[in-house]
Amino acid sequence: MNYSAPIASGLQKVVVDRFAADVARQVSYIPGADLIPIIARLGGRISTQNVLDFNRIPAGSIRIDGPAQFEIFLAAHTGPVRDRFTIAHELGHYVLHYLYANRNGTKVQRLEAQRYGSGPVEWEANWFAAGFLMPVADFRERFTALRGSLAALAAEFGVSLEAARIRAESIGLTA
């Protein structure tokens, strides 16, 4: 089977951020909640791979065979917080580089996104993950309620301390 590589959507960061928050609302995601049921409802599945399995497809990647037919691959050696961001990142590839692309004139049959390096495609998936896991309105509200405690925010949103710090800075919040 031939898989194409993702092509950047060209959307601006703020647009991807809002789009991700909208998707989160549409799938009834509550910040900090389990992502696995959402992936299953969308027709996806999650596989965990040991280092020996990397010949198949690298961990931290997605393979899409059609609408509501995708598999996210996670590494066996990473923890739940890292896995949550990876799942949201790969969901970003599915939404932005498969569903959005197909709805906007780019015909993509099968897609494989592997996490190699950096560039617009990976940036977009990261922006999506941040916007999905930490929607701006919710993040701002909790930032105020928790008096800027990044550790408490990270725990509440199920992200790393670094992800919470970057999110706070990116939306102009300082602790």
Q: Where exactly are the structural domains of the chain?
A: 13-133, 135-175
Percent of the chain with pLDDT over 70: 93
pLDDT of residue 53: 52
Q: What is the pLDDT of residues 18-28, one digit of tens each?
A: 999 999 999 99
Using 50, 70 and 90 to split pLDDT, how confident is the model at 52? Answer: low
Domain 13-133 coded CATH 1.10.10: yes
DSSP-assigned letters across all residues of the chain: ---BPP------HHHHHHHHHHHHHHTT--TTS-SHHHHHHTTEEEEEE-GGGGGTS-SSEEEEEETTEEEEEEETTS-HHHHHHHHHHHHHIIIIIIIIHHHTT---SSEEEE--S-SHHHHHHHHHHHHHHS-HHHHHHHHHHTTT-HHHHHHHHT--HHHHHHHHHHTT---
- Half-sphere exposure of residue 157: CA atoms within 13 angstroms, side-chain side: 34
pLDDT of residue 58: 63
Is residue 97 a contact partner of residue 70, using CB atoms and an 8 Å limit? Answer: no
pLDDT of residue 175: 63
Predicted structure pTM score: 0.93
Instruction: Tell me: pLDDT of 118 over 90.
Output: no
Instruction: Tell me: pLDDT of 82 over 70.
Output: yes
